[in-house]
Structures are given as C-alpha cells and as structure tokens.
Amino acid sequence: MRSTFHGLETARRGMFTQQTALQVTGNNIANANTPGYSRQRVNFTQTEPYPAAAMNRPNIPGQMGTGVQAGSIQRVREGFLDTQFRGENNKSGFWSARSESLEKMEDIMNEPSDNGLAKTLDRFWQSLQDLSVNPEDSGARSVVRQRGLAVAETFNYLSNSLSAIQGDLKAQADLTAKEINSLLTQVSNINNQIKEIEPHGYLPNDLYDERDALVDQLSTLVNIKVTKTASGGQASPISEGLYNIELLDPQGNAYAAPVMLLDSSAATPVNAVSIQYNGANNMADTVSVGTTAIDVKDFSGGELKGLLESYGYNDGGTVKGIYPEMLTNLDEMAFEFAGTFNTVQQVGWSLDSIKSGTKTPYTFFDGIGTKAGAAKTIKLHSDMNNLDHIAAATDPFSGDGSNAQKLADVKNINLAFSTGTASLQSYYEGAIGKMAVDAQQAVRMENNSYVLSEAVKQRITSVSGVSLDEEMTNMIQFQHAYNASARNITVIDEMLDKIINGMGVVGR
C-alpha cells in the first residue's frame, strides 16, 4: 500500500528540480555576454516509479511516478562545429600572418610612387641623358652624382628596412612558440583540475569552456587535432574527459610518427615547441616538438608557419621565404647594376683624363665586393668626390657625351641574374609584380578564411550561445512549473489536514 504522504515527496522533487532549472537559467542570463561561455541546461530525468517489480509488491493498479530530478547540468556544445572552426581558424592564422608580412613589405618598397626605387632609377637615367647633351656642364655632372647617390641610398634604405622587419618577424615567431607552450601548459593544468572533479560524477562545465577557449586560440597558431580520453572513476557518461592534442601537417594529416603537443597520460604532458636556426645564415632550420624535429617546409600550418615562411628558412641548402627572396633580388640588382655601370664608366673618358691626356679608370659605385649584401653596402666611390671623374666621353674630347648615353643605356642592358638574363627595369618589375600578386592572394585568402571561420562561429553561437529571449521563455516555463508544484503541496496539505484533524470525530 502506498504512503499517504506519497504526493508530498513528488511535489517536493518537482519544486527542487524546477528551482535548479531556474538557477541554471539565471546563470545563463548572467553570462549572456561572457566570451567563451556555453549555455547550460538541466537534464530532467524521471525518478524510479513505485512500486519496484518484486514478489511482495503491493496490489495497486500499476506503477506510479515518483517525480523528477535534475540528472545533470550539461553545457550545450557541438564537437563537430568546434573541429570545423579550429580548421578554419588555423587557415586564417596562416594567411593573416602572411598578409601582414607582405603588407609591411609593400609599405617599404612603396611602388609605384615618386619615392620608390623605380622612380629614383628613372631620375638617374634622365640625368645621364642630360649629361650626354651637355658633357662639360658642371651642373649636369652634379645632378648625376646626386642622383647616383640617391640610387645607392635607396638601395641601402630598402635593404635595411626589410632586414629590420625580418628581424621583427623572427622575434614574433619566437614569441609565438612561447605562446604555444604557454597555452599547452594552461590546457594541461585544466586537464588536471578536470581529472580531480569528473571521477566524482560532476560536469565541470566552466572548466570545459575555459579549455575550449584556449584550444581555439592554439588552433590559430598551429594545426592541431584534439582527442579525448576518460578521466576514470565514477565519471558521468556525458563527461568530456581529458584532452590530448596532436600536431598535424599543413595538409591537416597526421605525421608518419604521431607528434603530440599534449599527452595527458604522459609523465610530462607538454612537449615544448622551439625553433632552431642555422648558425651560418640565421635562417630557420627546424621546429622541435619535444625531441621531434620537423623541417620548416613540412611544419604544421597556422600563424607560426606563416611567420617562418615570411622570415626565411632553409630547404635542402636553399634559403626560401618572402623577405629573403626580396632581399636577394635587391642584392642582385645592386650588384649587377653597379658592376655593369662601373664597367661602362671605366671604359670612357672623364674630363680629368681628357685634360691630363691619360685615361684613368675611375669607379662610380663602391661597396659591391660580393653579391650577398650588395644592396646594404652599395655607395658612391670616393672617385666621385671630383665631378670631373664622371666619364661622359667615348673619345678624348671634352664635348663628347656619347659615353654618358651608354651609361644611361645600362637601363636596357640584359644583366645576368640568377633567374636568367633580363634588363634591370624588367627584373625589378618582375620582383614587384610577384610581391603584389602574393599580397593580393594573401589578402584574398585571409578574407576567405575569415569569412568561413566567422560563419562557423555564428553556427557555434546559434548552438552554444545564450539567447535572452529563449532564456526568458524558459524562466517563465520553470516558474510556472515551480508554482504548480508548490500548489500541489498546498492541496496535499489540505488533504492531510482533513485526514489528521477531521477523521475519527463522529457526530459533529
């Protein structure tokens, strides 16, 4: 026979469960604008019915419900969207780093403009043509010297500025490696906290949110794969367990030998990331994850890969990268241009040689002993301190300006560059054109990956974000259910009052 007080317990459970739901709803509303917060919900479950199946069960029409209980408080999260977001976030990090590096390079090269190298060279060629018309004019000679100096200083400025930005990229890459290690350590610490809570049957939803926010941030820096492992004990079936983080290659595949950034089962969970540089040229050689060294060209994507590709790296003895390539182009230009110009200059006759009757091979440009670093070191030779040392004549006549025209025609001479023969102007146009195309591609891909990541982020928000309208609706729903349970208690109380105070009194 069931208890007379059976309905009281059922109503009490209803009140307590609805109260729990109201408290969770209040927490959702309070965190509506908290970054990284995932809305939570109470999983209602029916309590065991009365009576249980047994030989001595009471003879009643059937099992009766005994109420409701809050089975668990679970955050609303969809793992597939998290994985998709981290993949797009990784691409966005790579292209963002590459786009920013190229944008800085474009600012330095400043082409096309009145202050770029192309315009400075054009002014230099024009001054030589003017000199060919008036070879004895000291003013024309002074302009040639000053514009030659401007060419050398422009090469110096471009090389030094690009080298400075390149140094900043190296420092940023090193800081990114430290940031990766910091994020991994924080995730490992949260893993340890979760490992202490989950075995008791609780769901540490706030820790889950904090851990996912860190992993999302990590996915911007390197390409990762997250797997889960049980924390043990009496953990809830819907607990998320501990995170293991594996490094993936640029194509999103696992390496032949798995490379673990975080292994929760290891004695030392975190495998630190570090960058190794070649002692000879200071370019990046490998990126180490713990004891595993990975060539930069094969290293995972993300912001770190974008920074290393911009700074420069060694690939089988060849230096590659955005900034090394442009610096090499400038060095080749300065070396080949200055060397060819000096050759034509030394063949001609200067006013000084014409006056003395003896040809002296004066040098126009200096500081180009080697091709490497030529753009940084090119300068006017001390011979050019005397304007009469400019060789404007082909024959020993002061009025002859034909060699000045030959000097101006250096602009169109095919020079021997590492990529083949080309004129100075066409080679420079090719280098600037490639930079522009690369920059446009980086900006386009950055925008595309940003749009895709934002689209996934919006889907995550639609699933995990707090909707105040929805929470207000839930609050009203839970409030009415709470009031109804309270009213149920009142009704049962009146029934019990009749039994206790009214039964057994006869004849009244």
Q: Kindly tell me if the per-residue pLDDT of 508 is higher than 60.
A: no
Q: How confident is the prediction for the chain on average, in pLDDT? A: 91
Strands (E) in 12-67, as ranges, are 40-46
Give CA–CA dist 219/88, Å, rounded.
9
H or E element in which residue 314 lies: strand 313-315
Tell me the chain's radius of gyration from C-alpha atoms. 39
Phi, psi dihedrals of residue 113, rounded to the nearest 5°: -165, 175
User: What was the pLDDT predicted at 59?
Assistant: 72
133: which 2 tokens? 């018309």
Task: For residue range 167-193, list pLDDT tens digits in order.
Answer: 999 999 999 999 999 999 999 999 999
Going by the DSSP 8-state scheme, the letter that residue 498 receives in this structure is H
324: which 2 tokens? 């090394």
**Amino acid, single-letter form, for residue 466:** V
Q: Which of 267, 303, 264 is nearest to 287 (CA)?
A: 303
Could you give the 3-state DSSP secondary structure of residue 360?
Answer: coil
Going by the DSSP 8-state scheme, the letter that residue 421 receives in this structure is E
Name the residue with higher pLDDT: 503 or 86.
86
Please state, in angstroms and as integers, the Cα–Cα distance from residue 195 to each residue in 53, 73, 192, 216, 491, following that order: 38, 18, 5, 21, 46
338: which 2 tokens? 């200055």
Give CA–CA dist 361/344, Å, rounded.
10
Q: Which of 300, 246, 255 is nearest to 91 (CA)?
A: 300
Q: Is 338 within 8 Å of 350 (Cβ atoms)?
A: no
Strands (E) in 193-296, as ranges, are 224-229, 242-248, 254-262, 273-277, 284-289, 292-295
User: What was the pLDDT predicted at 505?
Assistant: 62
Q: Kindly tell me if the per-residue pLDDT of 265 is higher than 80.
A: yes
User: What was the pLDDT predicted at 428?
Assistant: 93
User: What was the pLDDT predicted at 35?
Assistant: 92
Sign of the CA dihedral running 295, 298, 300, 304: positive
Q: Kindly tell me if the per-residue pLDDT of 460 is higher than 60.
A: yes
The alpha-helical segments, DSSP class H, found in 274-380 are: 303-311, 322-347, 351-356, 374-377
H or E element in which residue 23 lies: helix 6-30
Q: Kindly tell me if the per-residue pLDDT of 506 is higher than 90.
A: no
Task: For residue range 50-102, list pLDDT tens digits in order.
Answer: 777 777 777 777 777 888 999 899 999 998 999 999 999 999 999 999 999 99
Q: Which of 180, 181, 215, 195 is nearest to 79 (CA)?
A: 215
User: What was the pLDDT predicted at 15?
Assistant: 93
Sequence-ordered list of residues with C-beta below 8 angstroms from that of 426, at least 6 positions apart, any chain: none
Task: For residue range 307-318, list pLDDT tens digits in order.
Answer: 999 999 998 888
Sequence-ordered list of residues with C-beta below 8 angstroms from that of 227, at least 6 positions apart, any chain: 243, 244, 246
Domain boundaries, the chain: 6-76+466-499, 82-90+173-319, 108-159+324-434
Question: Which residues share a beta bridge with 109?
Answer: none
Q: Which residue has the tokens 């509506």?
A: 32
**Amino acid, single-letter form, for residue 121:** L
Sequence-ordered list of residues with C-beta below 8 angstroms from that of 432, at least 6 positions apart, any chain: 109, 111, 118
Going by the DSSP 8-state scheme, the letter that residue 285 receives in this structure is E
Q: Is 105 within 8 Å of 322 (Cβ atoms)?
A: yes
Q: Which of 472, 469, 465, 467 is nearest to 78 (CA)?
A: 465
Sequence-ordered list of residues with C-beta below 8 angstroms from that of 270, at least 6 positions apart, any chain: 181, 184, 185, 188, 261, 262
Give CA–CA dist 322/338, Å, rounded.
24
56: which 2 tokens? 């001595």
Task: For residue range 181-237, list pLDDT tens digits in order.
Answer: 999 999 999 999 999 999 998 999 999 999 999 999 999 999 999 999 999 888 989
